[in-house]
Structure 1
């Protein structure tokens, strides 16, 4: 183990020892004639671990800290709870008041809300009810996506849901590193990055100026809302529509915004969100927005008209629920406190009721001759000279390619030139690549 990892995890020995004492106190108090004393709490978060730092910064109460420990224990010591109960009941038996459930793979006890109520509240009804507030919508645990109760079958007590600690906090508290979520059915988005720089993004000056406005929001939004006390006047979040043909720089712009403002960019996979089953689309979207709510992420919906398109006249039940999905999206995106970028190839396909809610609509136009020439000059390899017959000015004027098209041609040219072992890039090779791009899109070309 690295020195940093050892420093961050060493504190768990004392914390879990303390938690064991707390559970032992509750068992003795509830099932024996002893009059135990609740373990001293004073120094449990006095160390310099990330767990303790989080507890201090967020000013967590004793009950909240113990609840966090209960939630993380199964990820550190699977037999923690079973060993305590076995020691207390050496001849076997059950403690239904303790709560907890078994997992499909996990062989130990997974604590539930009932476990929290029993350990911290015992048989005190008022205390048990008060503890449910830790799982309300307005509590820090829910607001910041730290901890929640798993859903339960209809009709069963809400507090019987499993205690779920967010994976990012499990990683943060146990290893000291932040775990980036990966695409799954519960998180239908992938993190996208780029090695390129702003200078590699060739756009018209009007478009670049509008993009700078987004960068300003990312850099100064917190100052405007908090330091300038504008929370009551300005809606949270920022909603942008990128509109333009494929290959004009919409995705690259989103990734560069993230790169230069320190924000992770997640491209949402609409195919994993949209469901033919009624209510499932809303559920999938809810998971995504709940996860992103308290993160400084940029959510990027590519080809957004697939789900954000115009609402239809209601002819049947399918149309009715499709329109409900759009309405739900309107609500969630308007309430989302972060940056949401929708990208579409055709702006007119987006519901007008939705476009009114955008702070900005940015048009990404096909590059003009000037931008095409800049793209050719910036991206052809410096280490391989152009043949004398190559005029990038002529190529730029004659062939109206997008930035993505030009990059595809350049890749083809590099590979063909290397494979042919030519000492320079030939015009013939460039034109072959241009022809491939035209044919791919079903366009006529005269070379």
Structure 2
């Protein structure tokens, strides 16, 4: 069980800390991790350790950062054993939180436990907590940023919330939509057979599917990761209602990857530097998760840069430049969607692996959409001819779905479950009026 592993691991961490407090050598406790500090079972804890294969020092730092999330008084109890009358212990490091009453470990705590007063070893611990270590690169663990002038290692050890959740309860819940993560999780009960696209569009989507399925082989086994950027960037453009959002959702569904639609209204800020901060939080959260990030109505942030006439223009261009850098280094799939390709900055266009046009469906596609949109429970009158309807009315897939939804409610309300040409035409007219095509 995962709790057995946690208990074993924390006993091991306690023994290492006690050895340091007793002026013994914690390194003497270093053993083969498997079989001594955790059970090699199928628990998420064991799988995580086996997947990352941490060294002794890395394992101790991971457990140290995890401990307050499991036993709030874990460190406080150990310290009180050696300072029974109270008092301060600066060498140990650690801070108190606003709501947390126990000791929260800092980088200094890790240095004390693993290195004591040995300056060489203390620097090694500091390097372990640096931006180049796999802790930071995989967004697993990092020291909290401190105020200017304070020692770097005095920041709290931050273990990514999803890692805490994985190691404690064994699952990782999807992030909630909030100011810290302004993105909505997209799901659908539809599948590829429900989506009607023309052949050219479908072929380009298949290229993205192939990347989703084979990217690890391409980048790692075939060694092309040395020459290519890690992720994939695609631009979807075309009128509203032509299947851009559904396509992005189905790409995730097919490969078991989560799809998040970014709410740009919560990202873009009028305050200088805030947009970049919001983007940084978003990409940091998504890094190494294999998520698909879908930027709908991307013109708000990805539009053409302007000539610099004042500080606002300079700030807007800085936002675009920052976004270019984050998108290029993101190791997952990023999809931008817009109604007009010409609205997107050329600097972005050059960096897309795929630019996919979603045109208004032609008569053949519209006929297929009409046929798929109506439930079989509706009895169609003999005067309803989908081919004739599709040829006369230029509607998007979303508009056709709106019409079918309205018709379904009408026949349910009437109790007949029968739809004739006159009712259908009235529903289509209603959709035209709603779209402003008929006043």
Q: TM-score, normalised by structure 2?
A: 0.95
1:432 counterpart residue number: 426
How far did residue 404 of structure 1 move?
0.6
Distance 1:95 1:428, change over 3 A: farther
Distance 1:435 1:291, change over 3 A: same
Q: Is the contact made by 2:146 and 2:152 (CA closer than 8 Å) also made in structure 1?
A: yes
1:183 equivalent among 141, 160, 177: 177
Tell me the secondary structure at the aligned position of residue 10 of structure 1: helix
2:310 counterpart residue number: 316
Q: Is the contact made by 1:28 and 1:36 (CA closer than 8 Å) also made in structure 2?
A: no
The answer on 1:233 being equivalent to 2:210 is: no
Instruction: Show CA shifts across 1:327-377 (max 9, x none).
Output: 111111122222111000111111112211111211100111111111110
The answer on 1:47 being equivalent to 2:47 is: no
Aligned residues: 435
1:385 counterpart residue number: 379
How far did residue 235 of structure 1 move?
2.6
Identify the range of structure 1 (340-349 vs 181-190) with the bigger mean alpha-carbon deviation: 181-190
The answer on 1:112 being equivalent to 2:106 is: yes
CA distance in 2, matches of 1:336, 1:426: 52
2:188 counterpart residue number: 194
The answer on 1:401 being equivalent to 2:392 is: no
Map 1:215-234 to 2 at 5 A: 215-234=209-228
Instruction: Show CA shifts across 1:93-127 (max 9, x none).
Output: 11122222222222222111111111111111111
2:264 counterpart residue number: 270
Map 1:284-303 to 2 at 5 A: 284-303=278-297
Q: Is the contact made by 1:248 and 1:367 (CA closer than 8 Å) also made in structure 2?
A: yes
How far did residue 46 of structure 1 move?
4.5
The answer on 1:145 being equivalent to 2:139 is: yes
Structure 1 runs not aligned, ≥5 long? 1-6
How far did residue 77 of structure 1 move?
0.9
Q: Is the contact made by 2:16 and 2:26 (CA closer than 8 Å) also made in structure 1?
A: no
1:418 counterpart residue number: 412
How far did residue 391 of structure 1 move?
2.4
1:11 counterpart residue number: 5
Tell me the secondary structure at the aligned position of residue 415 of structure 1: helix
How far did residue 290 of structure 1 move?
2.0
2:237 counterpart residue number: 243
The answer on 1:372 being equivalent to 2:399 is: no
Structure 2 runs not aligned, ≥5 long? none
How far did residue 35 of structure 1 move?
8.1
The answer on 1:57 being equivalent to 2:23 is: no
CA distance in 2, matches of 1:443, 1:289: 40
CA distance in 2, matches of 1:143, 1:197: 35
Map 1:74-89 to 2 at 5 A: 74-89=68-83
Tell me the secondary structure at the aligned position of residue 201 of structure 2: helix
Q: TM-score, normalised by structure 1?
A: 0.93
CA distance in 2, matches of 1:52, 1:326: 42
1:334 equivalent among 324, 328, 332: 328
How far did residue 78 of structure 1 move?
0.9
CA distance in 2, matches of 1:13, 1:335: 38
Tell me the secondary structure at the aligned position of residue 260 of structure 2: strand
The answer on 1:259 being equivalent to 2:253 is: yes
1:354 equivalent among 345, 348, 358: 348
Instruction: Show CA shifts across 1:169-209 (max 9, x none).
Output: 11211122133222222222222111111111101111001
Distance 1:321 1:16, change over 3 A: same
Q: Is the contact made by 2:377 and 2:417 (CA closer than 8 Å) also made in structure 1?
A: no
Distance 1:61 1:179, change over 3 A: same
Q: Is the contact made by 1:25 and 1:37 (CA closer than 8 Å) also made in structure 2?
A: no
2:298 counterpart residue number: 304
